[in-house]
């Protein structure tokens, strides 16, 4: 079969796919993208620990760049902010995923892209909030040089990532709840 024939066979197979299979494929692709970005962001949180250790080693004995008398109060405020984020993330996800999605394009492939983009955007906002907790720890470390502050906030950040990392089954359930079908293996 020549190249043109292979292209036509693939195109015919693509256009014969049921909307259910196309949705499943699009949803999986979107989920894989969101999961990859999430894993990379978790990796960046771990890079903060490496950066801190390098700073400590190159500036030994490292006692922070700015000595603050109220560092304990700042630490407590940031711990409260982290706790609030734990509560805000699911609420924010519900808000982002509720409501109507703008009208879809008429194309057969990618017809669910606005909904999938909404799921991906929700995942990215979740990741940003989870990572921000680690950044609080990095800021505290840079201020006072206390590694335990950094590691406490990194642990809290990884905990948030663990609890709120998107799950494919939830993405499928979201589509089903919206009157779409995205079940495994068909309608």
- Choose among 148, 137, 142, 143: nearest CA to 67: 143
Residue 164 near residue 130 (C-beta atoms within 8 A): yes
pLDDT digits (tens, 9 = 90+) for 122-159: 999 999 999 999 999 999 999 999 999 999 999 999 99
Mean pLDDT of 166-181: 81
- For the question of whether the overall pTM of this predicted structure is more than 0.85, the answer is no
- The reported pLDDT for the residue numbered 115 is 85
Cα–Cα distance measured from residue 40 to residue 123, given in angstroms and rounded to the nearest whole number:
13
Give the separation between CA 179 and CA 187, rounded to whole angstroms. 12
Instruction: Record the tokens describing residue 37, joined without a space.
Output: 């970005």
Residue 58 is predicted with a pLDDT of 92
Please report the pLDDT score of residue 143 as a whole number.
92
Q: CB 158: neighbour CB atoms within 10 A? A: 16
**Does 74 score more than 90 pLDDT?**
yes
Q: What percent of the chain has pLDDT over 70?
A: 78
pLDDT exceeds cutoff 70 at 1: no
Q: Is 17 exposed, middle or buried (0-12, 13-18, 19+ CB in 10 A)?
A: middle
């Amino acid at each position: 079969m020549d190249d043109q024939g292979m292209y036509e066979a693939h195109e015919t197979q693509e256009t014969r796919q049921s909307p259910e299979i196309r949705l499943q494929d699009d949803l999986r692709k979107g989920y894989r993208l969101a999961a990859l970005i999430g894993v990379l962001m978790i990796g960046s949180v771990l890079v903060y620990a490496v950066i801190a250790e390098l700073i400590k080693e190159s500036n030994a004995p490292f006692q922070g760049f700015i000595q603050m008398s109220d560092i304990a109060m700042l630490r407590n405020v940031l711990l409260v902010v982290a706790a609030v984020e734990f509560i805000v993330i699911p609420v924010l996800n519900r808000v982002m995923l509720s409501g109507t999605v703008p009208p879809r394009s008429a194309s057969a492939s990618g017809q669910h892209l606005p909904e999938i983009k909404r799921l991906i955007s929700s995942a990215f906002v979740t990741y940003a909030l989870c990572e921000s907790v680690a950044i609080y720890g990095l800021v505290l470390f840079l201020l006072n040089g206390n590694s335990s502050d950094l590691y406490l906030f990194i642990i809290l950040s990884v905990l948030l990532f663990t609890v709120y990392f998107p799950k494919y089954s939830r993405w499928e359930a979201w589509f089903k709840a919206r009157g779409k079908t995205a079940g495994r293996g068909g309608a």
